[in-house]
């Protein structure tokens, strides 16, 4: 169901972007041969980020990354009468379960990755409106350690002011073990935080490159 609805939704998104958004995509070569299971990590500047990123990542209805699964604020599921929670869940979203602990909040993305899916992760935990990139939460570090799956870093620039143009840059995929120093691991929650900072440094490097 999510795959079909995503294809239909992104068809309309593609039309909107073609007509109204000046979008530049860099680093597409880093997607060559890339397949799920995959964790896509990006900074977060606006509510439209997911649709811009999905459009750039998928490239067409035959994309191996479909369906894209992503965290969404508990708020949209709690205000059920608005219909947003139903729509977002149908198009691939799942709850953040904020404040319930890593084991609870990461259970669904772990299951998705085990089944060979694609998870989109915004480590800042919300939209960051200032010009720079915000500090990451430790969840991405834990997900990288627990799943041991590849991570694709992505930067999104200008989505909070689409009139000036949006730039999306894909970096080279990596594993958590590639960016952490095993002898320095302490075996506690600080490992997750340090790994999250290392992941976000990859995204920040892309953000500052264009």
Give residue limits of the domains in the chain.
Answer: 2-207
| Residue found under tokens 């892309």 | 206
Taking only the tens place, the pLDDT of each residue in 111-161 is: 999 999 999 999 998 888 888 889 999 999 999 999 999 999 999 998 887
Supply the CATH classification number for the domain 2-207: 3.40.1130.10
Average pLDDT over residues 182-192: 63
Alpha helices in 131-170 (DSSP H): 139-147
Helix spans in 21-45 (H):
none
What pLDDT score was predicted for residue 4?
72
Residue 188's pLDDT band (cuts 50, 70, 90): low
pLDDT(181) > 70:
no
C-alpha 196/C-alpha 44 separation (Å) is: 15
Q: Is 23 helix (H, G, I), strand (E, B) or coil?
A: strand
DSSP category for residue 27? -
Decide if pLDDT at 180 tops 90.
no
Identify the band that residue 183 occupies on the pLDDT scale cut at 50, 70 and 90: very low
Summarize pLDDT for 4-47 with one digit per residue, the tens. 777 787 788 888 888 888 999 999 999 999 999 999 999 999 88
pLDDT value at position 113?
96
For residue 177, pLDDT beyond 80:
yes
CA–CA gap between residue 57 and residue 35 (Å, rounded):
11
Edge-first strand order for the sheet with 150-157 is 23-26, 166-170, 150-157, 38-42, 118-121, 68-72, 93-95
The span from the CA of 153 to the CA of 196, in Å, is 12
Does pTM surpass 0.75?
yes
84 pLDDT band, cuts 50/70/90, is: low
């Amino acid at each position: 169901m999510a795959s079909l609805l995503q294809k239909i939704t992104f068809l309309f998104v593609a039309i909107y972007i073609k007509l109204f958004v000046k979008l530049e995509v860099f680093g597409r070569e880093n997607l060559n041969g890339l397949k799920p299971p995959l964790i896509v990590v990006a900074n977060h500047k606006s509510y439209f980020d997911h649709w811009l990123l999905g459009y750039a990542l998928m490239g067409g209805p035959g994309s191996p990354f479909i369906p894209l699964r992503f965290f969404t604020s508990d708020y949209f599921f709690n205000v059920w009468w608005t219909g947003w929670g139903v729509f977002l869940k149908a198009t691939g979203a799942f709850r953040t379960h904020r404040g319930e602990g890593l084991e609870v909040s990461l259970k669904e993305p772990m299951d998705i990755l085990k089944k060979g899916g694609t998870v989109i992760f915004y480590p800042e935990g919300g939209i960051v409106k200032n010009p720079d990139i915000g500090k990451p939460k430790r969840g991405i570090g834990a997900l990288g350690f627990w799943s041991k799956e590849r991570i694709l870093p992505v930067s999104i620039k200008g989505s909070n002011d689409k009139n000036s143009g949006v730039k999306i840059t894909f970096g080279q995929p990596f594993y958590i073990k590639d960016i952490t120093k095993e002898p320095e691991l302490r075996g506690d929650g600080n490992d997750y935080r340090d790994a999250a900072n290392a992941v976000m440094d990859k995204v920040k490097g892309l953000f500052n490159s264009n």
